[in-house]
Amino acid sequence: MWANADWRGSLYPPHGGQQEWLGEYARVFSAVEGNTTFYSGAPKAETVAGWARQAPAEFRFCFKLPASLTHEARLVGIEAELDAFLERLSPLHDRLGPLMVQLPRDFGAQELPQLDQLLSRWPKGISCAVEVRHSEFFHKGSAEVALNRLLISHGVDRVMLDVRPLFSTPAGSDPRLLKAQGEKPKRPLHVLSTGDRPLVRFIGHVDEDVNTIYFAAWVERLCLWIKQGKSPFLFVHTADNRRAPQLARRLHDEVARRLGQASIGVFSGEAQATLF
C-alpha cells in the first residue's frame, strides 16, 4: 500500500496531497503490494495511466487478482475476465512484479486442476505467485506435495505468509492486535522457493522487539536467495501499519550490511544487487 495517511510527517511530507504519495513512496521503496485490485477489481484506465507516469522504471507493482476471480468464480471460467484485467494493467507491464493469486481458505487439493489450468495459460512475460490458505497445504502431506510440484512445474512462487510475530502474544485488549489476529489465517510458515522470485508477506507485531526476533532468520534466508541469483520480494506489515516503513528499513539495512552492499533497493528484488 502507499495510500496511508498515518505516514504523513514520516514517509510523506506533512502537508502534501495524496496524489503525490506514490511518487514519494517510490523514492524510498521499489515495490508495492497492491491489495485494492483484490477488493475492487481492475482499476480505471486513467488510474493506471497515472501510476505509470509516477512510478520510475525500476519500480514494481505486485497486484492481487480480484476476489471475483479467485473467491467467487474459484478460477473456473475466468479466462476472459483475466485477460481483461491484465490488459487494463498493460501500461505497467514493464513494471509488474509477481501478480498474486490469493486463494480462499477452503480452496483445497481437489481444486488444484483449476489452478493448473490458470497457470498453464498464464502470460510468460508476467511473474506469478500463489498464496494458499487451506490447512491441508501446511501439513507436508500429499496435498502440499502436489501443490509444490505444480508450482515448481510452472516456475511459479508460493507466497510465504509469516504471521508468527502477529500471533506470538495474546491480543489482550489491544484493538490493533484483536483486529489483525481476527483477519489473518493462523497457518504454519513453510519457507520454500518454488520459483525465481520468492515472495514473503511479513505480518508484524506492534512490539518492535518481537519483530526483531523473527527478522533474524529472514535476514539469513534473503541473503541466501540473493546469492543464489534469486530476486526475493518481501513486504512488511504491522497490525496497524503505522511503523511498517521503519521496520522495512531496519530489515533492509541488516541485509545490506550482511551482503556488504552500500545500496540495495528496498521492497523489490531485482537480481544481484537489490532486495525485496
pLDDT digits (tens, 9 = 90+) for 184-241: 999 999 999 999 999 999 999 999 899 999 999 999 999 999 999 999 999 999 888 8
Contacts of 119 by beta carbon, 8 Å cutoff, 6+ apart: 128, 130, 150, 151, 154, 156
Given a contact cutoff of 8 angstroms between Cβ atoms, the answer to whether 36 and 21 are in contact is no
The 10s digit of each residue's pLDDT in 58-102 is 999 999 999 999 999 999 999 999 999 999 999 998 999 999 999
Contacts of 114-119 with C-beta under 8 Å, sequence gap 24+, read 114/74, 114/75, 114/76, 115/75, 115/150, 116/150, 116/154, 117/75, 118/75, 118/78, 118/82, 119/150, 119/151, 119/154, 119/156
Distance CA 23, CA 72 (A): 34
Query: What pLDDT shows up at residue 151?
Result: 98
Q: Find, among 248, 264, 231, 211, the residue nearest to 127 by Cα.
A: 231
CA–CA dist 126, 98 (Å, integer) = 7
